[in-house]
Structure 1
Amino acid sequence: MLIRETRADDLPALFVLRGQTRDNALTPEELAGYGITPESSAAAMQRGEVKGWLCEVDGRIVGFASGDREGGEMLVLALLPDFEGRGIGKALLGRVVAWLQSLGHARIWLVANPDPDVRAHGFYRRCGWVATGEMINGEEVMEYRGN
């Protein structure tokens, strides 16, 4: 297992992986509908607005996470279903949180599905995230409070 910073040439594979997650899968076409494309993501990375990490197992990308420099938001955490439960998601989440903390953000936050039957619901809470009571487009806002 190798965790490393995401590079622009990784982005096409990450967009495919995003559509293969167990919950909240979004295809490259759906992401493009939100204005999120490999090209727009590469430009944001090049400008230093977004930074991310990915995990490779035997040379295959199995998960990734990224955050927003300016707003302190955890933007995405995606993992292939066959690699859940191995600590990869927690490790990737930790890299993004540590980076956002190093930038001095008083508030590190994300939006997540509020349904307790969705894996992310319990996962984020076990990793030190707390629901704020705020909602954005039907998703709950959570803040990192640490473990």
Structure 2
Amino acid sequence: MTLRDASVDDVETLFDIRCSVTENHQSREELASLGITVESVGAMVASGDYVTTIAEIGGQPVGFSMAQISEGYVFACFVRPGFHGQGVGGALMAAAEEGLRRAGVKEAWLSTGEEERFRAPGFYRHLGWVDSGHLDDGQIRFTKILAP
């Protein structure tokens, strides 16, 4: 597996990966209704305020993570079906955390659903993230202190 920084040219790949997942699946239309479009994500990647990493296996993009530096917020971490359990998600989260840490972020946060069918809460706990309550929309808020 190799990790690389994403560029604006990778935005379609990010959407392909995001829309391929089976847990927390959202179509391009559903994402657009939330304001998450090719244009908005392209602007995010280009802004310099996001650490965006793509994982590749055999030259094929299999996952990505995005973290917003100014908010210390891990916005996304998604892995294509068929590539779970191979360390891809953990490597992408480590890349997001390291990017935030290098930018001076002391504490990061993320949110995820807590439905029993979602594996994400257990995954984040396994990586040392701590449940710090719920957001107004019912999502679990996780935080993690990023060591210097």
Which TM-score applies when normalising by structure 1?
A: 0.92
| 1:119-130 pair list within 5 angstroms | 119-130=119-130
SS, match of residue 101 in structure 1: helix
Give 1:139's aligned residue: 139
- Say how many residue pairs are matched: 147
Query: Can you list the C-alpha shifts for 1:101-136, whole angstroms capped at 9, x where unaligned?
Result: 122222200001123441111100000001101324
Runs of 4+ in 1 over 4 A off after TM superposition: none
Displacement of 1:92 in angstroms is 0.4
Give 1:101's aligned residue: 101
Contiguous gaps of at least 5 residues in structure 1: none
Give 2:35's aligned residue: 35
Amino acid at match of 1:50: Y
SS, match of residue 107 in structure 2: coil
Amino acid at match of 1:113: G
Give 2:73's aligned residue: 73
Give 1:21's aligned residue: 21
The 10-residue stretch of structure 1 (77-86 or 102-111) with the greater mean CA deviation from structure 2: 102-111
Distance 1:7 1:100 in 2: 17
The 10-residue stretch of structure 1 (89-98 or 22-31) with the greater mean CA deviation from structure 2: 22-31
Displacement of 1:59 in angstroms is 2.0
RMSD: 1.6
The 10-residue stretch of structure 1 (67-76 or 130-139) with the greater mean CA deviation from structure 2: 130-139
Contiguous gaps of at least 5 residues in structure 2: none
Amino acid at match of 2:16: V
The 10-residue stretch of structure 1 (51-60 or 120-129) with the greater mean CA deviation from structure 2: 51-60
Distance 2:47 2:78 in 1: 23
Task: Please say if residues 128 and 145 of structure 1, whose CA atoms lie closer than 8 Å, have aligned partners that are also in contact.
Answer: no
The 10-residue stretch of structure 1 (60-69 or 129-138) with the greater mean CA deviation from structure 2: 129-138
Give 1:8's aligned residue: 8
Distance 1:101 1:8 in 2: 23
SS, match of residue 111 in structure 1: strand
Displacement of 1:145 in angstroms is 3.9
Distance 2:136 2:7 in 1: 29
- Percent sequence identity is 32
Amino acid at match of 2:82: D
Distance 1:28 1:3 in 2: 25
